[in-house]
Amino acid sequence: MKGLFARFNPTDAITAGYLVLTAALVSALSPENPNLPRILLAHAALLAVQLALVVPRRAALPPVLRFLRDWYPVVFCTYLYPESGLMNDVLFEPFLDSAVISLERFVFGGMEPSNLLHPALDHRLMVEYMHFSYFLYYVYIPLVGLVLWFDRSRREMFKRYMFAVMLCFLSC
């Protein structure tokens, strides 16, 4: 078994760990979840793809698969992010929204900051700017990664960057 994981880097490890841990948690804590078969099948398929990309020596892979080997975690997030909506009541039921709102009211003296800021920032240009800024989040992550990945002298920096991005995505 050790040989199977010998080529795992830290990003590979946290990605596989997330897939296994979330599948186990949903199975154990929410066996009646109607999405359970879909989640388990998807996680098994993602783990199989991960192993197919990671286990062979990188140099033995064709260039396209080498690229996918390094970028598969971000590609996985395009599935894992929406999937989180299928599992959001596994650990906490009901949703934690009311608890967070209560905490905000406690911290901010009985009012919610979003309700206070909304009238002050409710201008078409501000709203467009905020939407554009949020959209850039989806551009910057791959853009920075691509700049690092294509500069061979920065591959180690790319690996650290990918680890930081995935740690953030998988834990938040």
Name the residue among 5, 52, 54 with its Cα closest to residue 159.
54
pLDDT tens digits for range 146-170: 999 999 999 999 999 999 999 999 9
Q: Residue 73 sits in which domain range? A: 2-171
pLDDT tens readout for residues 79-126: 999 888 877 777 766 677 788 888 988 998 888 887 878 888 888 898
Percent of the chain clearing pLDDT 90 (strictly above): 59
Report, as an integer, the average pLDDT of 41-52.
Answer: 97
Give the number of domains in the chain. 1
Q: Quick one: three-class SS letters along the chain?
A: CHHHHCCCCHHHHHHHHHHHHHHHHHHHHCCCCCCHHHHHHHHHHHHHHHHHHHCCCHHHCCHHHHHHHHHHHHHHHHHHHHHHHHCCCCCCCCCCHHHHHHHHHHHCCCCCHHHHHHHHHCCHHHHHHHHHHHHHHHHHHHHHHHHHHHCHHHHHHHHHHHHHHHHHHHHC
